[in-house]
Structure 1
Amino acid sequence: MSDKILIYQKPGCSKCRATLALLRSSGKEFDAVNYYEAPLTVERLRELIDKLGLPVRDVLRSDEPLAHHLGLAERQLSDDELIRIMVENPDLIQRPIVVRGDEAVLCRPPENVKKFL
């Protein structure tokens, strides 16, 4: 496993801030990617989901108002369609996602990051 830790986050997100604080206090080196400033591609989000080992719908923030507005819970969408919608609307992506090597973890709760520390 590569030693470098990468966190995909939104600065205004409380879970992201808490995960970043845990990373900083650990002394481990890491890079942070604000995926609002450096948007994810369909390919990169698919890769992250694969590393998480989760179904695509588990990475969808289904409680977001936009998800309700788009009727995502009621619609039968393929994984590719959901990923495309999440890339176009980053508020719909669960966060933060922390990656180390070939593994990733969704840090909800933020303490999940301890897997990599």
Structure 2
Amino acid sequence: MSTVTLYHNPRCSTSRHALELLKARGIEPVVIEYLKNPPTADELRRIAAATGQPLRALIRTKQPEYLEQGLDNPALTDDELLAAMVATPVLINRPIVVTEKGARLGRPLQAIEQVL
């Protein structure tokens, strides 16, 4: 298999389970701890496109920053959402697995299987 990238937060149990799932399948992913090394707006745009979901699907709506920054406003543009995600990476939902077959948010964890 070609490169598998995992956007990972080691403090998140779902993200840790995604890493375990990949390793159990013999896959050593490129692990990006996105809180330390946040993706750029362009990278997030490409990831969202690869999931086939709207950009909003990659935002953690349960984070206090989501409401604090007014991100619940449906009139916000993708550029505005991307700027918030880059400035406040904790807003990025996780885990995200990216392969040559596409990208999936690992919620539910089984969704990752679709791109392996």
TM-score by length of 2: 0.90
Aligned identity (percent) is 36
Matching residue of 1:105: 104
- CA–CA distance in structure 2, aligned partners of residues 96 and 18 of structure 1: 9
Q: What secondary structure sits across from 1:11 in the alignment? A: coil
- CA–CA distance in structure 1, aligned partners of residues 52 and 75 of structure 2: 21
Matching residue of 2:61: 62
Q: CA deviation at 1:102?
A: 4.9
Query: Which aligned segments of 4 or more residues in structure 1 are displaced greater than 4 angstroms?
Result: none
Amino acid at match of 2:42: E
Q: What secondary structure sits across from 1:82 in the alignment? A: helix
Amino acid at match of 1:23: L
TM-score by length of 1: 0.90
Amino acid at match of 2:98: V
How many residues in Structure 1 have an aligned counterpart in Structure 2? 116
Q: What stretches of structure 1 of length at least 5 have no aligned partner? A: none
Higher relative contact order (Cα pairs below 8 Å, separated by 6+ residues): 1
Does 1:15 pair with 2:14? yes
- CA–CA distance in structure 2, aligned partners of residues 116 and 27 of structure 1: 15
- CA–CA distance in structure 2, aligned partners of residues 30 and 55 of structure 1: 25
Contact 2:103–2:115 (CA<8 Å) still a contact in 1?
no
- CA–CA distance in structure 1, aligned partners of residues 53 and 4 of structure 2: 19
Matching residue of 2:44: 45
